[in-house]
Amino acid sequence: MITIKSDYELSLMKEAGKIVYDTHQKLKPYIKEGVTTEELDKIAYEYIISRGAYPSCLNYEGFPKSICTSVNEVVVHGIPGKQKLKNGDIIAIDICACYKGYHGDSAWSYAVGDISKEKQYLLTHTEKALYEGLSKIKPGVRLGVVSHAIEEYANKHKLGVVRELVGHGIGKELHEDPEVPNYGREDSGIILKEGMTIAVEPMLNLGTRKVYLLDDDWTIVTGDNKPSAHFEHTVVVTSDGYKILTGDDNYE
């Protein structure tokens, strides 16, 4: 079921989104050579709790940590642990927070020190693919238009579009209807309406779009071990477009 959020619900989602955004900002200075992904997890856990929220990933279907940390060829759902970041790595950090019963969800990919031209290209164009998709959002538009825009942008830049994982509606649940694929036909999908809240999250690969699941049953990696990037925002459909709930523009 796709829900339309009331102004009150949106005010809570805005706060959840702000907490997610602020947690990313809090982590940024720590994303350096030598830090372990479980150190980043601990900082995020403590910060989210200090804001009166709960890290939605923790215990979600048994996920053992508060954030997902996906390094280099890991596409999504990397589990924080003893792995130390190295100069030249890229890391996608996926943060979800639940505030007074409503969720915010945003992933961002970061460079660790100096990264290769290829990795920088991947980061730049995956972020741009996200905004390319978001730019299509307004009432009356089919969701397929958003999906298609992301796919087309990725194809133009010769990046692999992961299909096994998709964006999603979000609100009282972390994952609600509708699914938001990063590929598809423009004439497909539901028609967007004011007050819908969705998480749009392209996962793009430098090589093949194929991915597989590791034995830990969480970590998803690229089929050819080439790097992958992930950028995600939670947004609300407004009367004439959309508003990002997990960005820096909801401080007013």
Binding site for ligand MF3 (CB under 6 A): 57, 60-61, 63, 68, 77, 94, 96, 105, 199, 201, 232
Amino acid residing at 23: T
Cβ distance to ligand MF3 smaller for residue 61 or 114: 61
Residues near Co ion (CB under 5 A): 105, 199
CB of 240 to ligand MF3, least distance (A): 26
Q: Is 139 exposed, middle or buried (0-12, 13-18, 19+ CB in 10 A)?
A: middle
Cβ distance to Co ion smaller for residue 115 or 146: 146
Cβ distance to ligand MF3 smaller for residue 9 or 201: 201
CA distances for 116 relative to 113, 123, 149, 158, 223, angstroms: 10, 11, 27, 17, 20
Cβ distance to ligand MF3 smaller for residue 57 or 192: 57
Q: What is the DSSP letter of 191?
A: B
Which entry of ligand MF3, Co ion, none binds 244, CB below 5 to 8 A by partner kind?
A: none
Instruction: Return d(Cα 144, Cα 132) in angstroms, integer.
Output: 13
CB of 88 to ligand MF3, least distance (A): 25
CB of 63 to ligand MF3, least distance (A): 3
CB of 16 to Co ion, least distance (A): 13
55 forms beta bridges with: 97
Whether residue 182 contacts residue 199, with contact meaning beta carbons closer than 8 Å, is answered with: no
